[in-house]
Structure 1
Amino acid sequence: MTQSVPLTPNPDNDSSSGNNFSPVILNTLPDIVLPPTRGMLRVQQQLDLLLLAIEALKLGASEEMLATCQHLGLQGIIHNRVDLWRLRCTNPWRKCYNRETLSPEQIKTLILLTNTCAKYLLVPLTQLLLAVQQMRDKDIPLENNFRLSEYFTRFRSHFTSRMNPRRAKVSVYLASPQELNQLALSLLEELLFCSGTRGIERLSVRLFDGEVD
């Protein structure tokens, strides 16, 4: 049975009180027009999966995400790990799916967080994707590369423990290690794509392309 968790502000966070609060840095991001419900579910799912890939890519990434939020002045929206968890549980694939819809400010916050973390991980992202190309050129299984194998293992562990096996697509991934590895690789490519100078704009376009009428 899917658990439901209310997406409410942290009562201990005074800076988040009031409906009109928005971190100043979010004003530098392009305005977001929310797509219909189905499109929003896909956007929320993709943002969570990108953060899942970041966690699989680097140990301790979840703590660094919180530190990054503090550094960017986003603590009014993500004050602690519970706040971040609530936002990420809007991914309908999650076991603890909370059935809420993210606000434009919350989406901008996750986009900015993803972009910033991807920039920090530019070197390992580049190295892993280069290794993928080299292994494929030599027709060697990707799992034979230690760093790729380590990433796949962590991603599989995170995905298995957090996603709902009753979801049709989740069950497909859980039944096929190759399909799950391909998902993990596609997320690495997406993170590299959004780590550049105009990464935020690229990620926003990629997320909402075809979702807004």
Structure 2
Amino acid sequence: MDCMNASASISPTPMPAEASLPAALLQLPKLAGIPEDCPRRARQHLDLLLLALEALDLGAPEAILWVSRELGLESVLRDRVQVWRLRSTNPLRRLTQRQPLSQAEIQAIAVLISNLAQRLTVPIRQILLTRSQLEQQGADYRSDALIAFYLDRFRSHFQSRMNPRRAAVIRLAEGDSLDQLALTLVEQLLFCTGVAGAKRLWASLFDGEV
């Protein structure tokens, strides 16, 4: 479905009332004044973070589903199709969904990303530490096998799933911009780890919006 060049509209899944929300979502802080629909920038950012996780971990697509079940998020992230629909609200995608994201859906994705990032803390830290060391030595960070593997997978995922006709996608494909984006996303995934990782990510999505 990712490879289609079209826009689609799928009826959104009804969201549970606040009283029946998963416990993992109730732990997130309430933000006053946030927009009813998830901002374009936030939708794009969430999908790219998931793309980075998939590039870091070959088993990430399957992990997204079983971690969702483990966290009790099935009422929001029902199945693979539902996760795909939410990710396809990223306006850079080849196939985009024009449905708004509910607050519960945004929260569920933020909690999911934080949990997946925590499980990948070791390779995330390794990539960032090795990159820093190589840059200090004046060496190419692509000389490291783990970094090169991650960057190549991220590029492959990005090119296969994003619309090559979008101006933003064209800009990112120039020079080493895509590699820099991929490494920046790893830095942001580190920000998502730790006890308060989901809360930090959730609040950061609305910086400048609240």
TM-score of the pair, normalised by structure 2: 0.90
Equivalent in the alignment of 1:89: 88
Q: Deviations over 1:44-103 (max 9, x none)?
A: 110000000000001010100100000000011112211110010111111111022110
Equivalent in the alignment of 1:118: 117
Residue identity in the other structure for 2:198: I
Gaps of 5+ in 1: 10-16
Q: Deviations over 1:103-138 (max 9, x none)?
A: 000000000000000110111100110011011011
**Partner SS, residue 3 of structure 1:** strand
2:7–2:95 CA contact under 8 A, matched in 1: yes
Residue identity in the other structure for 1:132: R
Higher relative helix content: 1
Are 2:62 and 1:58 aligned?
Answer: no
Instruction: Give the count of matched residue pairs.
Output: 203
Residue identity in the other structure for 2:174: A
RMSD after superposition: 1.7
Mapping of residues 3-152 of structure 1, within 5 Å = 3-9=7-13, 20=17, 22-32=21-31, 33-35=33-35, 40-152=39-151
Gaps of 5+ in 2: none
Equivalent in the alignment of 2:207: 209
**Partner SS, residue 6 of structure 1:** coil
Residue identity in the other structure for 2:6: T
Equivalent in the alignment of 1:188: 186
TM-score of the pair, normalised by structure 1: 0.89
% identical equivalent positions: 42
**Partner SS, residue 74 of structure 1:** coil
2:54–2:61 CA contact under 8 A, matched in 1: yes
